[in-house]
Amino acid sequence: MERKIRVTGKGKISIKPDLIRLNIKASDVLKKYEDCINKSSKSIKELRKIIENSELNPNDLKTTEFSVDTEYKSYYENDIYKREFQGYKYVHNLYINFPNDNDLLGKVLYELSKSKTDYELSINYTVKDIESAKNKLLAKAVEDSKTKASILAKASEVLLGEIISIDYSWDEIEVFSKPIDDFVINGAQSFDSKIDIDIEADDIDLSDTVTIVWEIK
């Protein structure tokens, strides 16, 4: 009978965010399909100009989703469920990454505030080199598993042999923090000058596990 020991190691790291990911959502409902498409196109052209005015590269603005669909209002009339056609709704989700810099963030929010279009925003703090962070985390988990296995082997008066197997889930790890709630910004909130932002995002705490099976002698 094969003698073996299975140990799960846990890796933990904290990393300082060096990148801001600004998620932007533009949407509206119009009666005519053609008007809906034109409004969508206009809002994105405007958004690219806003990004350019913020001293960022408009080519860095990337689309994650674009859709146009019918919009209905649901209601009851005399206990009968009804739907009333409202028009066509476009949804355009985009994002842009830029260095973790409060001045840059303030410029972008200021330029967005001058727009007549409503933009829904969310701000995530992340890191440029996500793969490096994940690799460091995995190495920590393997090291922890090996340390625990060595302690258990010594306490049991056995020796660790060759590694039989390594089990790792490879699940996607989300590397970001979100200290600011989602919000809407538009011309009604226009500012006279650049918005002064003073945010120090907390370090991002990551953890992951790996299970290693050793032969014991």
In which band, very low, low, confident or very high, does the pLDDT at 189 lie, cut at 50, 70 and 90? low
CATH code of 1-16+128-184+197-217, in short, is 3.30.110.170
Q: Where do you find CATH 3.30.70.2970 in the chain?
A: 19-126
Over range 162-167, report the average pLDDT. 93
Measured between alpha carbons, how far is 26 from 117 in angstroms, rounded to an integer?
8
pLDDT at 58: 94
Residues 19-126: name the CATH superfamily: Protein of unknown function (DUF541), domain 2 (3.30.70.2970)
Which residues are CB-contacts of 35 (< 8 A; sequence separation ≥ 6)? Answer: 88
- Looking at 52-66, 103-117, 131-145, 150-164, which range is the least confident one? 103-117
- Nearest-CA neighbor of 73 among 31, 25, 120? 31
Which is nearest to 217 in space by CA: 27, 31, 6, 3?
A: 3
Residue 182's pLDDT band (boundaries 50, 70, 90)?
confident
Tell me the pLDDT of the chain averaged across its residues.
Answer: 90
